[in-house]
Structure 1
Amino acid sequence: MKRILITFAMALSVAPAAMADLALATAKQCVACHTVDKKLVGPAYKDVAAKYAGQKDAVDKLAIKITQGSSGVWGPVPMPANAKVSEAEAKKLAAWVLMQK
């Protein structure tokens, strides 16, 4: 029982951080093209997480794609640069995306 309570408490302590990053993604208009679990204009966050799983430099790679944009990675539709996202915010968003399952 104690183990269950500890696990539950740990899950609750992570939930606010995850929601804060969803809030950041919403504020920076990322959710206009992406969702957590299905393709919209761009890939689902869970698909991005799966593609970059195990890559040690994934956060940095994705942060660059967020701020500078990219093309040809997920098909013909380019991802435009997001000048409203700082480097620190991009890294926070990238880390959050990589946690999606």
Structure 2
Amino acid sequence: MKQIFINMTVAAALMVAGSAMATDMPAVGKAKCGACHAIDKKVVGPAWNDVAKKYKGDANAASKIAANITKGGEFGWKMGKMLPKGMGATDAEIKSLSEFIAGLK
């Protein structure tokens, strides 16, 4: 009985730790980008974690991501072409989301 309690406690702790480590997409990202992107998995476009990895160590990552979102295109992902400014994101939204994406680990 004691072993069952320990196992259940460990399982609960792991679930809490896992959910605390997960990053949520900002609300504007869900509204403007969520139909085609997720943080941790490919949807229509690449996972934002994969985009962050592509630009890891690049001091200009956020501005490069913003430029790509603004002009639209394929960006070497071979998953189809994103429309310029995605689903009508403003320049301020693009800047904010680009900084968020570049900051993902």
2:70 matched residue in structure 1: 67
Aligned residues: 83
Gaps of 5+ in 2: 1-22
Matched, 1:80 2:75: no
Q: 1:39 & 1:57 partners in 2: Cα distance?
A: 24
**Which of 33, 38, 41 matches 1:35?**
38
Structure ranking higher in helix proportion: 1
Runs of 4+ in 1 over 4 A off after TM superposition: none
1:49 matched residue in structure 2: 52
Give the TM-score of the pair, scaled to structure 2: 0.68
Change (3 A) 1:96 1:87: same
Following superposition, the deviation at residue 92 of structure 1 comes to 0.5
Matched, 1:95 2:99: yes
Q: Which amino acid aligns with 1:84?
A: G
Following superposition, the deviation at residue 75 of structure 1 comes to 0.8
Gaps of 5+ in 1: 1-17
Aligned CA RMSD, in angstroms, stands at 2.1
Q: 1:38 & 1:97 partners in 2: Cα distance?
A: 14
Mean Cα deviation higher: 63-72 or 36-45: 63-72
Mean Cα deviation higher: 81-90 or 31-40: 81-90
Matched, 1:25 2:43: no
